A and B are shown apart, each in its own frame.
Chain A
């Protein structure tokens, strides 16, 4: 059987350690800093996206194979749809309410 991986899985260990650090960093920012709430939320969402890309690139090998660029395009499009749905819903449903009070 062909061997496609050799030696020690450094890429996986690196991704795992980085994920742990990013998780703990997000917890630290949330509970141990005096930043304004909006700043905290922005920072931890950025950290979440970093961690998601660690999973996609280091663990899931998103760009591997002959159709790697298609696979990545599907996920980028999915992320675009997700951001439009989530940010759009908050924008329309939550922010607009202030004008009715």
Chain B
């Protein structure tokens, strides 16, 4: 166990050790690198979006209703994840776990609609990764985000189990906080998917 940092008594539990503070800073550096990763995928998509090779283009595939459902599911899950950290900082373990479970359920709902959307494109509209450069970059970009959401769901689930086993201490509070940063970040990426991929694709 790391030594308790002296001046930090007014900071939340997840910042209570020097090691915890470094871990949280390290995770922000990781998020900066994730920004660069998604930027390359966005750049690839935006350059190739008009290369449809005779296959369906964005305006024929995207449906506002599905995209809005996905957006509001993920946005609400980001809100409930924020409430979980809020409850944790009030020392309410049960409230925190409750909101984390709601967050996971909303995340699963988001994935359900996204997988349904992919199946609709690939099976019913014949728009697969192999169809065109536009679709290759679309599935890579949106799929990478979906993979992140999947990882986030399992990550938060495992941390819930650990909190149930060990209770809230400096270690578990830090893990909950860092996973919440990750989840909020996925919503930040989705805002740009929603805007630069879907809305821009549907504007005529």
Contact = CB atoms under 8 A, between A and B. Distances in A.
Interface residues of A, number: 53
A101 to B, nearest CB: 13
B61 interface: no
B101 interface: no
Interface string A4-34: 1110010010011001100100110011000
A52 B90 contact: no
B94 to A, nearest CB: 13
Contacts of B50: 94
A59 B82 contact: yes
Contact of B75 (A23, A60, A83, A90): A23
A90 B91 contact: no
B46 A86 contact: yes
Nearest to B182: A60
A77 B29 CA distance: 10
Interface stretch (B10-18, B52-60, B118-126, B156-164): B10-18
Contacts of A37: 203-204
Interface in B153-184: 168, 180-181, 184
B147 to A, nearest CB: 19
A26 B91 CA distance: 38
A93 to B, nearest CB: 4
A3 interface: yes
A44 to B, nearest CB: 5
Contacts of B4: none
B68 interface: yes
Contacts of A30: 199, 202-203
Given A27-B64, A82-B38, A89-B47, A60 B32 contact: no
Nearest to B12: A4
Interface in A57-88: 58-60, 62, 64-67, 70-71, 74-75, 77-79, 81-83, 85-86, 88
Interface of A: 1-6, 9, 12, 15-16, 19-20, 23, 26-27, 30-31, 37, 40-41, 44-45, 47-48, 51-52, 55-56, 58-60, 62, 64-67, 70-71, 74-75, 77-79, 81-83, 85-86, 88-90, 93-94
Given A23-B71, A52-B191, A86-B39, 13 more contacts: A12-B79, A15-B79, A19-B75, A19-B79, A52-B192, A65-B24, A70-B28, A74-B31, A77-B32, A81-B35, A86-B42, A89-B46, A90-B47
User: What 7 pairs across the A-B complex have the smallest Cβ distances?
Assistant: A78-B35, A78-B32, A82-B39, A89-B43, A1-B91, A48-B195, A71-B28
